[in-house]
């Protein structure tokens, strides 16, 4: 084996209306963690899809173990020792975990599947990565973090020389992330190369040996991680110095209470209980807390997606019942969900359809959709939010994560909400796109709208909120004004159980 287990030289990939990759190179050493970084839309995922056979490059060459390869399918990539763990996991939820791992290569006894052998092989595999999961439980019953580790086990089962991990910690807690890092170090020690895509700078500097940075579909450079800092990575990613991660705040919220929640309880005992808060006009109310704090469950109940057993909700001083999404929309409430790909994006529909889908009835006359009005509304809304898309007919799945998120905000703004609930609005989005979303949020509160924002990113919570409501195990454990909120106080409240 030469110095590199993988060489991707001058890779070019063109889609209709956009050059996604322009002479990009990547060289990965065996037994190393190689981070691949760049803003959303920089071309990281496209480059990895070329390596994994999902896309075919239009120019350049891929060399594995010194041999030039023409990879035309994912099966061929797997046979060549390349595995990919995608950011969005799509297990077959109603089949056992072990079947998800060995799908297409079940151990056989004659013409029958050898279930005993499958259980044994799965247990051996889980033991190798220290995963305590019953191979026979349904995949759909696992937490997101365990599903992530099952995907890693699956990649290991192919005896891969190269494992691509795309945002592997996006749904993991700190402890689970440490467990993942332990597995990565084990894989490294066996000579496996890891290509690690993440927006989390601290992780990259902790786990990576080398870092390659891309920008606008082009190669910027590769550096040992020891030579990099967070600020250096950001400036090389965005091509500009970003000393301020957040736009300047010039707006002060009004005193008028536009939304009031009193003693709200879920019928589920382990969900949110006795939650009360006010939301002022032109305010960003941040909601902080650790995994399991029931923040998402609370806002989904306010949007009519979950049941409420007791308590009241008032809008502009008038109480109303939230029994369905229609009730919430009618009262000017919009929700941008946490998992945009699972519960927001219609990938196979166009940007146009994704933009107007929540306000479709506004563009119908006598049951017939008025295409001209739909086009005009979508065009104006997307231009206003600076969505980068070749055309409105472009499929939503072909947009970068940041641009998808902006389309979803455009979608809900067309329903004319007064209250916008944003659940992890910048998860999986690069620093440049984050800044744009923050700017959009500040424009909205200047217009008199109010925002409830759940965020697990402490700098975001502190940088964007006028007040921070902290939750712990379904209860409100504290409310902090902007000038008294800091990381230590939020973390103290997030771990303080309220009876």
pLDDT for residue 171: 67
499 has pLDDT over 60 = no
pLDDT higher for 201 or 170? 201
Looking at the predicted structure, is the pLDDT value of residue 316 above 90?
Answer: yes
User: Can you say whether the dihedral through the CA atoms of 225, 41, 147, 162 is positive or negative?
Assistant: negative
Quick check: 62 pLDDT over 60?
yes
Evaluate if residue 498 carries a pLDDT over 70: no
pLDDT, mean over the chain: 87
- Confidence band for 61, pLDDT divided at 50, 70 and 90: very high
**Structure confidence by residue, pLDDT tens digits, 136-179:** 999 888 877 788 888 888 888 888 999 999 888 776 777 888 88
Predicted pLDDT at 436: 82
pLDDT of residue 87: 65
Residue-wise pLDDT tens digits, 73-83: 999 999 999 99
More confident residue, 274 or 413: 274
Q: What pLDDT digit, counting tens, does each position of 328-350 carry?
A: 989 999 888 877 666 677 877 88
240, pLDDT greater than 70: no
Q: Is the pLDDT of residue 243 over 70?
A: no
- Percent of the chain surpassing pLDDT 90: 45
For 86, list phi and psi in degrees, rounded to 5: -75, 155
Residue 184 has pLDDT above 50, yes or no: yes
Residue 1 confidence class, pLDDT cut points 50, 70, 90: very low
Domain ranges of the chain: 6-91+142-238, 257-494
Residue 411: per-residue pLDDT: 86
- Residue tagged 């051996």 (tokens): 124
Residue 120: what are its φ and ψ, rounded to 5°?
Answer: -60, -50
Residue 438 has pLDDT above 80, yes or no: yes
User: Which one is predicted more confidently, 282 or 386?
Assistant: 282
114-128, 392-406, 424-438: range with highest mean pLDDT: 114-128
pLDDT-derived band at 40, boundaries 50, 70, 90? low
Give me the pLDDT at residue 353, please. 86
CATH topology of 6-91+142-238 equal to that of 257-494?
A: yes
Domain at 6-91+142-238, CATH class: alpha beta
The pLDDT value given to residue 241: 54
Task: Give residue 398's pLDDT band: very low, low, confident or very high (50, 70, 90).
Answer: confident
- The arithmetic mean of pLDDT across residues 51-57, rounded, is 94
Name, of 58-72, 371-385, 450-464, the range with top average pLDDT.
58-72
> The domain 257-494: what is its CATH number?
3.40.50.300
């Amino acid at each position: 084996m030469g110095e590199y287990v993988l060489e991707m030289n001058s890779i070019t990939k063109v889609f209709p209306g956009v050059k996604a990759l322009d002479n990009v190179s990547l060289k990965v050493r065996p037994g190393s963690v190689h981070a691949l970084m760049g803003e959303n839309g920089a071309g990281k995922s496209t480059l990895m899809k070329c390596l994994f056979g999902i896309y075919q490059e239009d120019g350049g060459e891929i060399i594995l173990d010194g041999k030039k390869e023409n990879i035309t399918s994912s099966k061929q990539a797997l046979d060549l020792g390349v595995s990919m763990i995608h950011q969005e996991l799509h297990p077959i939820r109603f089949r056992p975990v072990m079947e998800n791992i060995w799908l297409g290569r079940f151990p056989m006894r004659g013409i029958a599947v050898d279930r005993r052998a499958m259980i044994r092989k799965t247990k051996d595999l889980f033991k190798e990565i220290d995963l305590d999961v019953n191979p026979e439980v349904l995949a759909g019953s696992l937490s997101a973090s365990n599903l992530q580790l099952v995907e890693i086990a699956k990649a290991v089962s192919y005896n891969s020389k190269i494992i691509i991990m795309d945002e592997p910690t996006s749904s993991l807690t700190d402890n689970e992330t440490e467990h993942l890092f332990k597995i990565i170090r084990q894989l490294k020690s066996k000579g496996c190369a890891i290509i690690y895509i993440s927006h989390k700078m601290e992780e990259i500097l902790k786990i990576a040996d080398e870092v390659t940075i891309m920008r606008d579909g082009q190669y910027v450079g590769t550096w040992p991680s020891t030579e990099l800092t967070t600020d250096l990575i950001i400036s090389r990613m965005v091509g500009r110095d970003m000393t301020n991660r957040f736009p300047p705040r010039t707006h002060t919220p009004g005193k008028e209470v536009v939304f009031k929640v009193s003693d709200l309880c879920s019928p589920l005992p382990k969900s949110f209980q006795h939650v009360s808060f006010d939301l002022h006009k032109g305010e960003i109310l941040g909601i902080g807390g650790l995994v399991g704090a029931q923040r998402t469950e609370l806002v989904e109940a306010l949007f009519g997606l979950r049941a409420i057993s007791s308590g009241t909700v008032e809008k502009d001083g008038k109480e109303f019942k939230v029994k369905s999404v229609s009730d919430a929309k009618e009262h000017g409430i919009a929700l941008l969900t946490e998992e945009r790909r699972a519960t927001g994006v219609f990938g196979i529909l166009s940007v146009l359809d994704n933009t107007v889908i929540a306000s479709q009835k506004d563009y119908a006359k006598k049951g017939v959709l008025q295409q001209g009005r739909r086009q005009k509304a979508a065009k104006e809304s997307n231009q206003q939010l600076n969505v980068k898309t070749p055309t409105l007919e472009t499929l939503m799945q072909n947009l970068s994560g940041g641009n998808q998120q902006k389309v979803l905000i455009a979608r809900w703004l067309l329903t004319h909400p007064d209250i916008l609930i944003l659940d992890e609005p910048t998860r999986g989005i690069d620093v440049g796109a984050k800044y744009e979303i923050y700017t959009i949020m500040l424009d909205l509160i200047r217009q008199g709208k109010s925002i409830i924002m759940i965020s697990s990113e402490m700098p975001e919570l502190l940088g964007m909120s006028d007040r921070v409501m902290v939750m712990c195990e379904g209860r409100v454990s504290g409310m902090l004004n902007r000038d008294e909120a800091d990381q230590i106080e939020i973390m103290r409240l997030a771990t303080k159980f309220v009876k």
